[in-house]
Structures are given as C-alpha cells and as structure tokens.
Structure 1
C-alpha cells in the first residue's frame, strides 16, 4: 500500500501544474501603450460554459468563503444572533484550518466593514510589518534574484503577523460575541481533522519541496513523508492547542505570552529577524477606505498599504470611458481594452504605491476620473502599444491569500481578505504551534531606494482588494479574491461582469478571466482559440492557462437583491469555494 502511495505521489508531482498563490512578481508589471480609436462593433461574445457551482439564494444572510466548512461556520454564527462581523471572524478562523495553505495565525489581512445603521465604512488593517532589524539591503541579490529565495522561503522571509490582533480588534470593537465562542468551529476542525480536497492535495504536491525543508511543517502536511491524497484526513492538534490558548487568554498570549516566546526563540535559533519586542509592538490600524463610482454604483475598497482598492477603482475609471457592454464580454476588442488598461494601472502601482506611513502616495490623483481619462486616451483597440512609463497623478491631486464575504439580515456588510502570502507562506511552522508563518517580506521590492523597499516597522505593499458596492446608497455587493496582483484584475472583472454585462454573482465569478503584464496577456483556456488568435493579430503575446486556473484567484461574493429582499451567494470553483445562506 505504501509503495503504491509512493508511486502515485511521484506521478502526481511529475505531472502537477503549478498552482500559483498570492506571490507578487518582483518586477512590477508595467504597461504598453496604444492609440485612441472608435469603439467598433465586436465579434459575438463567446457563449459561456455551464456553471460549475450553483448560485445560492437565501432570505436571512449569506457567507461566501473558500471552503464549505468555513462558510458553514459563519452562517452558524448568524443563526445564533451574531452580526456580520462575528460571522466574518468565525469564518476567517475556520478557513485558516480548512484552507491552511492560504491564511492563518501567522499572516495578516484587511477587513472592510459597512454598518447598516449609520452607513459608516471602516477598514481594519492587520497587514504584517517588517521586523525592526529589516533594512533596504537585507537580501543579497544576484542577477535580479534574491539568493537562496531568502525573501520567500525560510525565517528571513517572515514579517510580524497581524492576524490575531486584527480579528480580535474587529470582534471587540464591532462584534457582539466573545472571541472564545467564534473560535469554536476552527478548534473543532483542527482537533478532529479535515478531509483533504483535490485542490489542497494538489497544492501540497506543488509545494512539496518547500514543506519538506522544515520538519515541523512536514510533520503536519505530509503523510509518511509524502503529500496527502484527496480523501485523506488531516489532523492538526498543535493548531487546536494554540487556538484554545488564544481563546482562553486573548490576543496578548500571541504577542506577549507563551506563543510570542516560542516564535521569538525559534526565530533566534534559525537566523530570523523577529523578536519578542517586535511582536509586543504590533498594533492593527483602523483606516478610511478608498471610494469611487462606476456607472452609478458606489465602489468602496481597501486603502494603502494595500494597492488593491485604489487600482480596482483606477481600472474602472478607465473602463468608464468606453462602452464596455457594446464591446461584448471576452471578445477580442474587449480583451484588448482590458489588457491595455491593466498595463497602465500596474505601471502606476509599481512607481507610486507603498506604506503611506513612509512614502507619499498620490491617492487622489490615482483615484481621479480625469486622470483615468488622460491615461486611457491613447488606447488603441486595434494593436498593442509599446512599453510606457507610469503617468503623473500628482497633477490631479485634490483632496497563495483567501477572501470571504458576509452580509447579514440587518444589512451589515463585510469583505475580508487575508493571507500568508505564497501558498504555505515561508514554509515555517514553529514547533508545537501548528500554524504557518507568512513570507510577506517577499512583497517588498528588494531594490533599495524604491517606494516599497524594506525598512524597520514598514508594511509591505499588498494587492488585497476587499470591496463593497452600494446601489442607490443601499447594500448591493461584497466581493474579493486572493491571487497576488491578479486580485486587482479579478475583482475589477467580476464587478464589470455584473454591472456592464448583467451577470449573476455566480456567472460573474466563474466567467473566464485574464491578466496582463509587459510580457504577455494571460488567459484562461476557456477563452476561445479564435479570440486568442485575434488578440495575437493585434500584436499581443498570449499565454494560455488552464480552463479554471488558481493563477486568477478565487473570488467569493454576496449580492443583495433589494427588490426581492434576497441574498445571492457566489463561490469560485477555481478553489473549494462555497456560499452558504439561511
């Protein structure tokens, strides 16, 4: 039996295709320009395939998350009288157990909340921060690459986690339930074990080398030294013990108590930079979200140090200069437009975005509709342009990650995106604690002197884009995605699918996606060959991914139909997503 398992695992490793997580490419993906043309009548939009997931409809509330057990945990909290914040925290903790490759106690994130009674919106920023020993030249770089992948794998890749502090703050300030109560589903799943899905098994196989480097990690995520297969039971009693400790003693035990001691000791023994003083100093922030409009809908999203919300809005502002509906969905002209818009946005992101506590971000300019109009005016729908630099938003100044969405029956809305960066983070599990530590130092630019270069106490740039949409001032949509830089383009495409093309939430999430950088246009295999050929005829280099590819994220969303008083939940089949309502 063991021999057969060995053969199966070997074949799976040989045949596996990379399942890309939330890792950010080191070179910021700039852009290629173009020249303005009239919008022409497009070719027929390709017919979409049947939906893989069923859209869920309910009357009292909805949770959409990257795993069914996590969504169920959130809905149980709603049924017990908890609000959307209570449910979001319970779901976030549960998803850290059932989707351990993507988030957990060793990571961080952003939670966007809108309160039904007041209409107020806030963002809880619990992004990780660089240790005090971090410096702009802390990594040795040869030929543009970090030696030994030190910013990505191992102890020097780890930034100070904000996860426990951020979720605890959200619950204490805006929730109605106790931390110990909302932690119970996560504790149960860790203690009793979860059934490994095909998705998780594939990700473990894809990260086998990383996991194998660290004995405490291999102990949890390998079975007899080999990757878990779909259907196996994965139990993490160390994680359950750690969760119980936090439930009993609160967040201080993580930042100032026994857990902090264990992290600091393991860091010191293995060349890591995080000290107990770094952990004790960590504080989450409450920030004002960024906002904009798109064709009459109000878009609310995450502010810096996440670049996500700003550039989702910048994409939409550029698209607003075109009749996107008339161009059709995923037609050659439509994808040409998206490609050129994306390249401009990422050129701006690479130059201007960083931790606002350290660098001045021209936020008003980047969010300006006039700036977007200027950036979009030379887009040519007939041909790819040549490489361009970032624009100048200062002239307009005036004023892999996981996602879950919750809307409760009162109309409170939460969009929460959290991560440990790449799948399985740094690969490090502190012995006895059971959770993975992030590799968020990978999100810094390793070249000194840049807006996003590392520094003591500095937050690395993020692409997380938890987003809320209002229609006529009322709750309409909560959505977001994992996927590193592809988060921004995934969220923007889902929003356009709904607003421009009239899709349901499930259709909008499942629709084939693209992403672009200065090298290529990356398209899912469901984009028809004739469309891809038409793009190539315009001068674009097209790279084809799988039909449903983790590269493009895993969006989860909840839409509220005001006219019918119904919640509609959509979940991404690119991961093990599930929407649950009641």
Structure 2
C-alpha cells in the first residue's frame, strides 16, 4: 500500500512539474488556489455593455528574478553563471543566497557580513545540502592584517557516542541504516555557532541586519529548481518515515513540489528571528535546543542538552603549501581536504603540466596517478588530531612528493597503490560558496548536512533538517576515524584561498564528499597551469576516482583522449556531459585590472553576482 501511494504521488508530482514548467508557472500548488470563476456558468453579456479592455496579467512571482536557470521543460541551463564586480563578488550555489550576500555588500557590509547572510540564506533555499542543523569549515583571509584564519564549525559526536553504537548485519551493512538516517546518525550541529562567531569577531553588521533578508524570503517563498525538486521527490519515502520532514517540505496536498513552484518556510523565518534576538543561546539553549534533543531522541539518538550547550567553535591556522609560485591556504585536520589537495599539487609540480594540452590523456593520466597516491595516504593517516597522530608536515613535504612522483609511470596506469611513509619527512574536507570584496577580504566556506536532507529528522516547528554527519565515521574501533564522544569525523571539505606574492589571487571550494579534493586540485591547475579564466576552469570537464584503477569522467572529454587512457591501463567509466557528482565549485578571482571575476558551477544551481 505504501509503495503504491508513493508511486501515485510521484507520478502526479511529475505531471504537475511538467505542467508548471511548460506554462512558465511559479505559482503555489493548484490545490490551494481559489476556484476560477471561469468554471462557473455566466450570463451572456448585454449588447449595450461596453467592451472590457483586457488587462495584462502580472508576471508570476519568482525568487529567481530575471535569472533563467531552467527552460520551459524544467531542464537546467548551463550558461550565465559568471559575474564581474568592482566592490565585491558573491558566488554561491543558489541565486537567492548570492543576491542576499550582494545586498549586504551594497548596504556597506564586508565579505564576512555577506558570508554570514549567505549561510543562513542557503539553509532556506538549499535545505537538501546544508543548513543550521549542520556544520562546516571556513578559510578566511583578512585584508587589513594579511591574517588567515581557519574556522572549524564542523559537527561533532555526542558525548555518549561509541564505536559499538551501530550494529553490523550479516550482509555487512549497519542494521537499519543507522549510520545515515535517524537519531544515531546526527552529530551536534555547529553552523549557528560558527557563523555568529565570525560575525561578532570579523563582521561589521548586526545579527538582525544579516538575517532579515532571509526571514523575509522564507515567508514570501523561493522558487523550486530542478535540483531541489528532484531531491525532494527522491526523498519522498524518507518524508513518510519521518513525518516532521514531510510536514515541512511537502505541499499542502502531501505531494513533492514541482519545478517552478513556490516553497515557503515560515517556521524557518521564526527560527531566524529567535537567533537574531538571542544569538547562539537561542539555538544551543532553551526551547529550540529542547526541540532539537527531542527530535533526535524520538528517533533513537544520543544527543543531550549538555552536548548542545558545550559546543565550541575552534579557530586554528589553515594548512599552507605552494604551487608554481602561488601560496595555497586550505583546511587542516579534522578535514583531510587541504592537506591532500596540497599533496596532489606537490606531486603534479614535478611534471610539465603547463606544456600539456588541457584535459589531454597525458595530463589526465598524471592527475589520476596523483589521486591514487594521495588518497591512499588519506585513508591511512588522516583523522581528528585530538585523537590520532597525523604526519601533517610529512604529507605536505615537497621532497616526499618527489618520491611519490617518481613512482608514476607516465606511460602506464598503476593497478594497485599502497599508502607510503610520510613520517621521515615530518620534521620539516555539501555546499560551497566564495565571497571576496575590493579590500581583499576573502571568505571560502564549505558546509553541509552531509547526505541529501541529512538524517531525515526535521526539528518540529522550526523548519530545518538535522545532519547525518555521524555517517562520516568509520565502522568499528581502533581506526583513525573511529567514533568517540566529542570527536569530529574525517572530512574532505577544502575551502581554499590562493595568494600570489602575498596578495589575493583567488578563492574557491566545492561540495562532493571525497570528490571535493580532486575537484579543487583540478580547478587550481586549470587556472595556474593553463591560464584559464575562473569560469572556464570551473566549466572544464573533470575526472574523479582514486581506487581500483577506475576513472569516472564527464563525456565532454574527447573520446580519443579516453581511448588513449584505456590503452594506458585505466578503466574509464562515462557519466554525463555535466554530472552533479563532480562537485559544484563557486569561486572568485582577482583580475589584473582590479575587477573581480565570479564563477559558479553549472553542474548545479550556482550563480555568481557582482557589485
């Protein structure tokens, strides 16, 4: 019965989506609209009555303004994602969040103010990927002092979490999928604490100023894009399993929203009003905290009020490396992202990539081999440094990279790769957005609720999802990434700032789980090695893969190149021309003429806006 209900709901939602897209409709669901008077019998018009002039219809409301993201058939368009600006650029994964961030800069705020506003906006317009029930990392460059900070607001394990909290079934999987959904998948959220910390310490505006645009938009409504509509439809079963999820994110008639329809979230607006008034205490203490714990525990979770009250933002320095004269600053542990990006670039620096054709077989082969070597080290050594020793300096050492580069056969793919030993050299990373302003402040933020709509657990009456970040831990004890109370799970998030001669060059990052690392490395190389514009580098087709000698690739790569890679021993798996799994880079580059270039990834809904 449940399966039949789901099939019928999805079929009806699909038909409504096609209908709405075909008509260019962005109206609310038809079931909530008033009955049309055209459906009622009418008296014939009197011959003496004057002819009525036709009044043009008001265009239907859309939160996308004049940005055309999808066509009349609901298909995503891949153009028009970049922007330029003299005062600042905001490049996020959603138009509305970029618009709100730009508004903050227009009103006199700096890049940090805009970053905080964009974060809370993304929780409304992209709840499938991030939100205040999750966490993340920020790499921040402050122009006035030249200081770079790494802000860790990643989720952590509840104090009661242990390696044996999940049960493994005979099929080798966790019973009940408890790693990925329900209460035991939920880590203590850090986003609210992190964003308010940076606002208070580096911003210039009040909480009310940065939150009000999103409060207003939550009540007015946002246009459902193809990406969001697909994720809502794919999550329908989970919405049935966790009713609070469905009550917030399904239409009044119990069906998923279609492309072009308007989704309103007044509960989220009220939550932001509470945070604007009370700050972090409004989230981590009091009624909202009690609702978070109740939602978690209803579905067998372990979180307590003490876990929330004890959450702390951590401020450290980013990891630092160089690549062909550029300085790379990115995420340190507990993210593996920055370290492994730098290790990959160090390996590639031993080869003449600038002399190769972009995306040639020769170049892609080197990327693939570098990925294998660096990711093997990631699996063996990386974890939360509070719990395990990480040979950080060794992994990023140039001489160590030379030993790895020497293992690469430029004519043949290595079938198996083992982790190497960086210890002798020890002495010497969802959604992403990037913001930069004319003063040179750069903000790179990667944040997430982990899986699509996180754990499936929605905080009743508050309009946001809780993460399933516990699924990033390894199953079982005695591993660098095993569960412990208060521990932060390993991540690949790689929010990155790049300097040239001590001055801002560009800022970037991406979502995409383990693919984040390879995506960021490829885009950096495209800009530095091949002189591409930032949008060209973001648009360029990508590869991914680091084990079993397999490469996934976007089919815009020339088939002759793929044939050559196969001859070299690679197992090549075609995906689509533009594939969401290859990440979604948002970036800003400082042009030599002083104009900022914003780029946004057409693989999802990204849009850069300039001022």
Alignment correspondent of 2:586: 556
The CA deviation at 1:51 is 6.9
The CA deviation at 1:558 is 0.4
Alignment correspondent of 1:540: 570
CA distance in 2, matches of 1:266, 1:425: 13
Alignment correspondent of 1:501: 530
CA distance in 2, matches of 1:328, 1:11: 46
Q: Deviations over 1:220-250 (max 9, x none)?
A: 2222333211011111111111111111111
CA distance in 2, matches of 1:282, 1:4: 44
Please say if 1:67 is aligned against 2:94.
yes
Deviates more, 1:136-145 or 1:365-374: 136-145
Q: 1:470 to 1:3 in 2, by over 3 A?
A: closer
From 192, 215, 219, the equivalent of 1:164 is 192
Alignment correspondent of 2:71: none
Alignment correspondent of 1:331: 360
RCO higher in structure (CA 8 A, sep ≥6): 1
Is the Cα–Cα contact under 8 Å of residues 162 and 282 in structure 1 kept in the other structure?
A: yes
Q: Deviations over 1:132-187 (max 9, x none)?
A: 11111221123432222111011110000001000010001111111121011221
Q: 1:103 to 1:3 in 2, by over 3 A?
A: closer
Please say if 1:486 is aligned against 2:486.
no
Alignment correspondent of 2:542: 513
From 189, 206, 229, the equivalent of 2:217 is 189
Alignment correspondent of 1:204: 232
The CA deviation at 1:11 is 8.2
From 283, 289, 292, the equivalent of 1:254 is 283
Is the Cα–Cα contact under 8 Å of residues 296 and 457 in structure 2 kept in the other structure?
A: no
CA distance in 2, matches of 1:362, 1:492: 21
Please say if 1:424 is aligned against 2:469.
no
Is the Cα–Cα contact under 8 Å of residues 514 and 523 in structure 1 kept in the other structure?
A: yes
The CA deviation at 1:258 is 1.2
Alignment correspondent of 1:317: 346
Is the Cα–Cα contact under 8 Å of residues 400 and 419 in structure 1 kept in the other structure?
A: no
CA distance in 2, matches of 1:400, 1:493: 15
Is the Cα–Cα contact under 8 Å of residues 196 and 229 in structure 1 kept in the other structure?
A: yes
Question: 1:111-130 residue pairs with structure 2 within 5 A?
Answer: 111-130=138-157
Please say if 1:529 is aligned against 2:559.
yes
Is the Cα–Cα contact under 8 Å of residues 299 and 467 in structure 1 kept in the other structure?
A: yes
Q: Deviations over 1:43-63 (max 9, x none)?
A: xxxxxxx97235311111111
Question: 1:83-122 residue pairs with structure 2 within 5 A?
Answer: 83-122=110-149
Alignment correspondent of 2:70: none
The CA deviation at 1:400 is 13
TM-score (norm 2): 0.86
From 463, 474, 479, the equivalent of 1:445 is 474
Q: Deviations over 1:497-535 (max 9, x none)?
A: 100011100000011111113132111121222222221
CA distance in 1, matches of 2:332, 2:429: 21
Please say if 1:216 is aligned against 2:244.
yes
CA distance in 2, matches of 1:63, 1:378: 41
Deviates more, 1:93-102 or 1:261-270: 261-270
CA distance in 1, matches of 2:312, 2:429: 24
The CA deviation at 1:378 is 1.4
Deviates more, 1:337-346 or 1:265-274: 265-274
How many residue pairs get aligned? The number is 544
Deviates more, 1:527-536 or 1:321-330: 527-536
CA distance in 2, matches of 1:3, 1:345: 44
Deviates more, 1:297-306 or 1:212-221: 212-221
CA distance in 1, matches of 2:467, 2:398: 36
CA distance in 2, matches of 1:235, 1:10: 20
Deviates more, 1:524-533 or 1:450-459: 524-533
Secondary structure, aligned partner of 2:451: coil
Alignment correspondent of 2:57: none
Alignment correspondent of 1:41: none
From 11, 36, 41, the equivalent of 1:7 is 11
Structure showing greater Rg: 2
Alignment correspondent of 1:365: 394
CA distance in 2, matches of 1:260, 1:294: 45
Alignment correspondent of 2:369: 340
The CA deviation at 1:575 is 1.1
Alignment correspondent of 1:465: 494
The CA deviation at 1:386 is 2.6
CA distance in 1, matches of 2:7, 2:185: 36
Deviates more, 1:380-389 or 1:160-169: 380-389
Unaligned runs of 5+ in 1: 14-49
Is the Cα–Cα contact under 8 Å of residues 106 and 163 in structure 1 kept in the other structure?
A: yes
Please say if 1:352 is aligned against 2:381.
yes
CA distance in 2, matches of 1:374, 1:505: 32
Please say if 1:80 is aligned against 2:80.
no
The CA deviation at 1:331 is 1.3
Is the Cα–Cα contact under 8 Å of residues 400 and 423 in structure 1 kept in the other structure?
A: no
The CA deviation at 1:553 is 0.9
Q: 1:462 to 1:197 in 2, by over 3 A?
A: same
Is the Cα–Cα contact under 8 Å of residues 302 and 464 in structure 1 kept in the other structure?
A: yes
From 280, 284, 291, the equivalent of 2:309 is 280
Secondary structure, aligned partner of 2:446: strand
Unaligned runs of 5+ in 2: 1-5, 18-76
Secondary structure, aligned partner of 2:452: coil
